[in-house]
Amino acid sequence: QRTRKATEAIFLLAGHAFDDLGYRRLEWKCDSLNEPSRRAAERFGFVYEGVFRQHMVVKGRNRDTAWFSMTDGEWPVRRTAFKAWLSPENFDENGRQRRSLAAVRASIG
């Protein structure tokens, strides 16, 4: 939920999946109408792949599922961005970020 801890949790999860377990791909799936979740996926560096239309029924309605992914080939750059964003130098004395994760990612390439 746009917190330092949530960002660190995704960083640790991805690091474990790619670095420790050797996964080739990490997926993020959410209701296509869930804009906060879609924005979070993109903020963390997941790439939008598309929508599975009528993927499932939830509470009596069809749910379209948005799919995002991050691959092992993308991970090294994402890892560098996460580490730079999470560094203590990126936060002021009140714990507010100095640069957004998107800005850090853009500066890395």
- Please classify residue 102 by burial: count the beta carbons closer than 10 Å to its beta carbon, then call 0-12 exposed, 13-18 middle and 19+ buried: middle
pLDDT in tens, 56-100: 999 999 999 999 999 999 999 999 999 999 999 999 999 999 999
Regarding pTM above 0.75, the answer is yes
CATH H superfamily, domain 4-108: Gcn5-related N-acetyltransferase (GNAT) (3.40.630.30)
28-56 burial code (b ≥16 CB/10 A, e <16): bebebeeeebbebbeebbbeeeeeeeebe
